[in-house]
Structure 1
Amino acid sequence: MNEINSNNFSVLMSIHVNDNMEYLKIALDSVYFDQVLRPKQIVIVADGKLTQQQDEVINEFSKSVGNNIVQIYKLKKNMGLAFSLNHGLKRCKFDLVARMDSDDISLPHRFLEQIKFMKSNPTVDVCGTYVNEINPETNQFISTRKVPLSQEEIYTFAKKRNPINHPSVIFRKDKIVTLGGYPLFRKSQDFALWCLLLKNGLIFSNIGVVLLEMRSGDNLLKRRGVSYLKYEIKVIKFQRKINFISTRELIYSFTLRAFFRLSPVFIRKILYKLSRIV
């Protein structure tokens, strides 16, 4: 196999009892059977006790792919996404690790394109992509979630908003583990991690091509109202603590987030379409 297309990379997933079983099946198939370039390792972390049906899905997947490729780790109780990802990250055999959520769909050329990019750009530590948002019930296209592409654009963007579509990301594990991995926040742990990595000089890039489909829709915006604001405030405080943003930028971010989260859902829909604030 050409070195630039080498499948020496891991896929990291976390599964929770509330995850939709049908979406899980599709997500799992999309990171292996549907891929042009298949990973050599898939690390699945069960974040607490799963349903019998979920266990059957991941066990059948492991059997079909091979337990030499699929490793399943089960946490005794729910510890949260950040903890479970850090747990799995330490068990990834390869330095290149691709993230995947349990309800999204990796498109067939995702890993081929990202591995080629990372091999061709050895100074890049974190690489995301554009994603298409789709309706969870109908799978119909909603919109494309675009993100900044260059290091400079990503750094500036990250002071206000998340610059990476998390389930689309591939990164170099060793540098992230050295910096402590995902900060242990209940929500927005990926955003906090990107800020930490950027502050410590890691190099980011996004590929301006859609390589993943993400389930989204009105229900997501309804859930991400005022109750979500407290999690965002923690991240904003974290950004200030590590000197990623100034006090002035903290005030700006808080005002922006508070206005968005406290607005009625129909206003949030409009703002979301205009600015991709979440």
Structure 2
Amino acid sequence: MSSKMEKFSVLMSVYHSDNPHYLDVALHSIYDDQLVKPDQIIIVADGELLQTQNDIIGKFISHCPNGIAELLQLPYNVGLAAALNTGLEHCRNNLVARMDSDDISSPDRFQKQITFMSTHTEIDVCGSYIDEIDPVTETFISTRKVPLTHNEIIVFARKRSPFSHPSVVFRKNKVISVGGYPPFRKSQDFALWSKMIVNDAKFANISDVLLRMRTGNDMMARRGISHLKYEIKVLGYQRKIGFITTGQFIHVLAIRTFFRILPGNFKKVVYKIIRKCYG
């Protein structure tokens, strides 16, 4: 255990369809509003951005002290996994905090997570509880509570992702050692946690709400059969690397297929129940 708080980088990817206002709020939440500020902020432009997005990012970079925030411009859209892997290469610190371009970090997020990671050097990934909020009004919808201890996380991960991706802080060297984010369009984070588990990584979540995520039941209800094909690819990958058995693959696939084919209104009800019972 170490008593000194480590320096850390923040890693964010931005795409042209991301809401400019949400982006502005997200950026200020990871620097201006933080009790403990990052040593570096890497913003990856995943392809050509809107002028309004470029203006917001440029203003933010100018606002931050020299050298802290930088923009990596990719020539074309490569997808989130590849964009994050590129950004990760440019992170100069071993501790890296993930952030999405439309979410809001709590002011004490980095203070709590970086302190935790600095004093628990055996932990490779640390997430937290999150509040789901209405995208427009930012009103509270529900709290996603995730398993806290390593053993609880391993059990939970056989069925669902044990982390809310934009809430995590991880050790760059451990993520790089397993090859970074696998090349999936969706659920690349879940694939990464699975790969890290089979490579003996250690995990934890903090029982504090450290991030507000713009989401909602309507968003979940829109994820139908078209989303299922991405889940099948990740499940197949998890089976291939030995993270889940064939029986677990069939069991989880059956549950997810049933959920995806439900009508939108029923899906909302089921989603509320899942959040209430399982986080």
Q: Calculate the TM-score normalised by the size of structure 2.
A: 0.96
Matched to 2:29, the amino acid is S
- Taking the aligned partners of 1:218 and 1:161, their CA distance within structure 2 comes to 18
Separation (CA, whole Å) in 2 of partners of 1:194 and 1:63: 35
Deviation at 1:67, TM superposition (A): 4.1
Kindly provide the CA deviation profile for residues 66-100 of structure 1, in whole angstroms up to 9, marking residues without a partner as x.
34001110110000000000000010000000000
Q: CA deviation at 1:3?
A: 5.6
Unaligned runs of 5+ in 1: none
Aligned length: 276
2:79 maps to: 80
Matches within 5 A, 1:8-157: 8-157=7-156
Residue 190 of structure 2 is matched in structure 1 by 191
C-alpha displacement of 1:222: 3.3
Whichever residue aligns with residue 112 of structure 1, its letter is: Q
Could you tell me how far apart the structure 2 residues matched to 1:5 and 1:35 are? Answer: 15
Q: Runs of 4 or more off by more than 6 Å in structure 1?
A: none
Q: Structure 1: how far apart are the matches of 2:273 and 2:173?
A: 37
1:229 maps to which residue? Answer: 228
Q: Write the deviation string for residues 168-215 of structure 1: whole angstroms up to 9, x where unpaired.
A: 000000111121100000000000000000111000000011000000
Counterpart of 2:138 in 1: which secondary structure?
coil
Q: Is the Cα contact below 8 Å between 2:11 and 2:98 reproduced in 1? A: yes
Counterpart-to-counterpart distance in 2, 1:224 and 1:194: 22
Q: What is aligned with 1:4?
A: 4
Identity, in percent, stands at 52
Structure 1 distance, partners of 2:132, 2:226, is 23
Structure 1 partner of 2:246: 247
Contact 1:4 1:115 in 2 (8 A): no
Contact 2:127 2:168 in 1 (8 A): yes
Q: Distance in 2 between matches of 1:120 and 1:180?
A: 26
- Where structure 2 has 5 or more consecutive residues not aligned to the other structure, the ranges are none
CA distance in 2, matches of 1:157, 1:23: 31
1:4 to partner: Cα distance: 3.1
Q: Output the TM-score relative to the length of structure 1.
A: 0.97
AA of the residue aligned to 1:4: K
Give the C-alpha shift of residue 274 in structure 1.
Answer: 1.6
- Contact 1:129/1:210 (<8 A) preserved: yes
Identify the residue that residue 179 of structure 2 maps to in structure 1. 180
Amino acid in structure 2 at the alignment position of 1:161? R
SS across alignment from 1:144: strand
How far off its partner does 1:270 sit?
1.6
Does the Cα contact within 8 Å between 2:130 and 2:167 map onto a contact in 1? yes
Distance 2:185 2:127 in 1: 22
Give the letter for the 2:37 counterpart.
R
The answer (yes or no) to whether the contact 2:128–2:210 under 8 Å persists in 1 is yes
User: Could you tell me which amino acid in structure 2 is paired with residue 191 of structure 1?
Assistant: F
2:4 is aligned with what amino acid? I
Shift of 1:142: 0.2
- 2:208 is aligned to 209
Worse overlay, 60-69 or 103-112: 60-69
CA RMSD of aligned residues (A): 1.4
